[in-house]
Amino acid sequence: MADKPRLTTTAGAPYVSNDTSQTAGARGPVLLQDYQLIEKLAHQNRERIPERVVHAKGWGAQGTFRVTHDITKYTCAKVFRPGTETEVLSRWSTVAGESGAADAERDVRGFSLKFYTEDGNWDMVGNNTPVFFVRDAYKFPDFIRTQKRHPKTNLRSPEAMFDFWAGQPESVHQVTILMSDRGIPVNPMRMNGYGSHTFSLWNEAGERTWVKFHFKTQQGHKHHTNEEAEALIGKTRESYQEDLFNAIDSGDFPKWTLFIQVMKEEDAPKQSFNPFDVTKVWPHGDFPLIEVGELEMNRNPENYFQMVENAAFSPSNIVPGIGFSPDKMLQGRIFAYADAHRYRLGTHYEALPANAAKNANVQHYHKDGAMRFFTNDFGDPNAYYEPNQYDGPVAKPEVVEPPLRIDGDADRYVQEDKDADYVQPRALYELFSDEEKERLYANYAAAMGPCSPEVKERWYAVLERVHPDYAAGVRRANEQMDSDVNAVPITDDTPVEAAE
């Protein structure tokens, strides 16, 4: 038998045994001086990092993005030069569930991509829906609390969810999508990805345009009904991971086509809606999709924890040619996401393999702290501050973004309950067929069953402003479900068949 590699401690000392503790006598007790045992147990205590507050359950893959169409008139970002191929790390996820939650639950899905460009990492941190529940980051912590467990019951609370949504009627657009057929994609390959927020592109001439990112699945959409999802969860809680891993492992690589919508900077004030409001979409008739390139995910990570669990996506990661917008939710996420990673992974999280820039020469003055496992003295240990005389790295003003036009007084502007919040949900509802509407109503009834009559009435009032038929359909489905539940009183003597 060929010699096997030597087992060592993390400091490189050879292990004497990986089976037995050092003890006083054959029966013990164990000696505290058995430092190899202490190291093994101590490391096990630290093998788990805090799970993400949101998007805890996720599935990832590696692949490439290739530019097939020329959009250089809009952007100088090197990742979008025609023919360019860029390595990509992806992570898809559910929003609300913990890390052990079932994959096939009704929930919004995260859709995040890290592009390792030659100018550094660009992160497209999005969802599988083009809109979101709230438009101001102030309400994001409150929204997420409604998706998590109740402090007393330690159970998920539909009451809290619909109570919050009824008080934030801007949510009705996203909730309509969530309760529709698209609420449970069968796996990551069968759903779209959206940047959701409005971003900006700028070109070599310093001209800015507003932009929306759309990754359209080439596999086609496919979704589970509630009943199909419940049956699947009874068989496996890992259906997404299984489908994704097995597809890539068998060579069936999923693909998406990237499209963008663009809006001239001066056209934003002319719209009948706020183009920086993440609860709104841009009409495709006014802002048609422009094809950019193809994303192919073609490699399973060799170590899930290293490349997917340690992955840290943040919309603050942009590169020259891509910029932000006045979108209030985006502005909040620019800080919150990076800060979440500093808490969850550590000070130097971006030096981990999943997050480290691959094609850019990373040089910064961030020093010391937890996880300072790299050297960045630029060849001279005296260059630990800036400016310095030791040829340390300096800023590059020629990649400056063009000025972002701002107009208005600094204030806390009250969010008004405007009819504009109901226009797009109404248009979406009217697109549904009669069969899709009936499934929408039934999905609501399943989700709202535990809610109090007061919360149900508040939500019906929101739906009424979208469309009277919408409110009536959801009310009817809820009443039918209540009637079915009450039709057969379940007692100790009730036959099992009747109770079912």
> Each residue of 92-112: pLDDT tens digit?
999 999 999 999 999 999 999
Q: According to DSSP H, which parts of 46-118 are helical?
A: none
> Each residue of 217-240: pLDDT tens digit?
999 999 999 999 999 999 999 999
> Each residue of 460-472: pLDDT tens digit?
999 999 999 999 9
Closest of 280, 282, 255 to residue 267, by C-alpha: 282
pLDDT at 186 over 60: yes
Sorted by sequence, the CB contacts under 8 Å of residue 197 that are 6+ apart come out as 126, 278, 315, 325, 327, 329, 330, 333
Residue with tokens 């972002």: 404
Which amino acids are annotated catalytic? Answer: 55, 127
Find residue 109's DSSP bridge partners: 94
- pLDDT value of position 485: 63
Tell me the mean pLDDT in the region 47-60. 94
Tell me the mean pLDDT in the region 472-485. 90
Task: Return the minimum-mean-pLDDT range out of 43-47, 164-168, 482-486.
Answer: 482-486
Whether the bond into 387 is cis, omega within 30 of 0: yes
3 vs 243: which has the higher pLDDT? 243
> Each residue of 111-143: pLDDT tens digit?
999 999 999 999 999 999 999 999 999 999 999
pLDDT bin (cut points 50, 70, 90) of residue 486 is low
